[in-house]
Amino acid sequence: MGDGQYTSYHAATLLDKARESYNVYHLHIKQTYAGSMQETMDGWKQLLGDHLIVLENHEEVSTVIPEIIADVTHEESVATGTPSVSKTKIIL
């Protein structure tokens, strides 16, 4: 977009940058063609490790997101000794 110097970034570099400010997760839904492919899941697993959440179908999303938020805010509260819900940003 316009003139200037551009840099190509590897996905892991961008992920590390996002992790500086956010708890990054990927909800992988297996009910699609690409979602059912093991190589697709393996690629996400390599990037995200335990932050890859594999779901059988889209109907699980509404229950999994609050669970992730509760886990993250609890871990942050334990680590800091203060409630962290007010500091939680959710980007979908």
Region class of 71: left (phi > 0), else alpha (psi between -120 and 50), else beta: alpha
Instruction: Specify the pLDDT at position 89.
Output: 64
d(CA 7, CA 4) in angstroms, rounded, equals: 10
Residue 11 has pLDDT above 70, yes or no: yes
- Higher-scoring residue by pLDDT: 77, 47: 47
Burial 45-55 (b: 16+ CB within 10 A, else e): beebeeebbeb
Tens digit of each residue's pLDDT (9 = 90 or more) over 13-65: 999 999 999 999 999 999 999 999 999 999 999 999 999 999 999 999 999 99
Calculated CA dihedral for residues 21, 8, 11, 79, nearest 10 degrees: -20
Instruction: Specify the pLDDT at position 79.
Output: 74
Instruction: Specify the pLDDT at position 76.
Output: 73
